[in-house]
Structure 1
Amino acid sequence: MNLFQKYGGADFWSDFLNMFYTKITASELLSHHFADKDIDHIKSMLIGLLEVTLVTEGHYPEDQLTEGHKNMGISGAEFNDWIEIYTGALKSSGIADEDATSILNLVNGYRHCIVTKP
């Protein structure tokens, strides 16, 4: 069974994203990226991204991620903060350590598509 289904599918991951975005929009370092953004739309897109990456074990088109993030000016420090918050959300949601590690490895594999400034 893939990781998307293992934890309950779209309902579980939707709840996960609700918790995660509550934390991420409160981050001093990251909140400015989400000001005046449609968080519900972002979460809807991320459900699809999670499904694709967790079902296919990380085969999301890098060109789409690069295009979507190219004008955001995300720094390495911001990406690291995002990862730290994401890690906490995975743990708070009851994701097993080995599954969290797999998910974080997938996400970190896209760093080069997301970080556009030092």
Structure 2
Amino acid sequence: MTIYEKYGGYDFFHQCIYGLYLDMFDHPEIAYHFISVDLEWLSRQQTDYLIRAIGGPDIYHGGTMKEVHAHMGITKFQFMEIAKAFRQVFLDKGVSQADTDFIMSFVASHATQIITRKTSLIDQIMRPIYRIIRKLFGWWLSKKNSWIRSSKIK
């Protein structure tokens, strides 16, 4: 049985990814990437791309990850924040650790295609702010947003 079949197919994974993007809309550094983006369309595109790697049908018809993300200027820090939240969403939805690890290895395999900048001004501004927010309000925020719950601010 494939990972895709094990968890109920397309709707389950679409729900996970839709939840991820809802969380990212609240992320102070990531949210600006999603201004004017149709969340339903985006989550379906991402689901279409993911499911072929986990045993689902090959229905993705978009561009390569490099083409799709080239204009976004995504930094390693931003990629890692999204990856941590991605992992947490799957675990929260009941995907096993082993299956989540497999999915995350697929996500990680695209890092070099998605990351196009070393740093950004918003990275430099937000890192110290994250530390303060996490220290003062992390216990409360961890109940509200997976990006806070999953983040390990250094």
TM-score w.r.t. the length of structure 1 is 0.89
Query: In the alignment, which residue of structure 2 is the partner of 1:12?
Result: 12
- Deviations along 1:27-80, one digit per CA (max 9) or x if unpaired, are 111101001111111111112112112127xxx9xx711111111100000001
Distance in 2, Cα, partners of 1:112 & 1:24: 21
Aligned partner letter, 1:10: Y
Query: In the alignment, which residue of structure 2 is the partner of 1:97?
Result: 97
Distance in 1, Cα, partners of 2:54 & 2:85: 19
Query: In the alignment, which residue of structure 1 is the partner of 2:74?
Result: 74
- Deviations along 1:71-115, one digit per CA (max 9) or x if unpaired, are 110000000100111111011110100111111111001100100
SS state at 1:28 partner? coil
SS state at 1:116 partner? strand
Structure 2: runs of 5 or more not aligned: 119-154
Distance in 1, Cα, partners of 2:115 & 2:88: 21
Distance in 2, Cα, partners of 1:42 & 1:11: 14
Whether 1:44 and 2:44 are equivalent positions in the alignment is yes
Aligned partner letter, 2:20: F
Distance in 1, Cα, partners of 2:4 & 2:114: 22
Query: In the alignment, which residue of structure 1 is the partner of 2:140?
Result: none
Distance in 2, Cα, partners of 1:75 & 1:42: 20
Aligned residue pairs, count: 113
RMSD across aligned positions (CA): 1.5
Aligned partner letter, 2:41: H
Identity of aligned residues (%): 22
Higher relative contact order (CA 8 A, sep 6+): 1
Runs of 4+ in 1 over 2 A off after TM superposition: none
TM-score w.r.t. the length of structure 2 is 0.69
Structure 1: runs of 5 or more not aligned: none
CA positional deviation for 1:18: 2.3
Distance in 2, Cα, partners of 1:50 & 1:5: 13
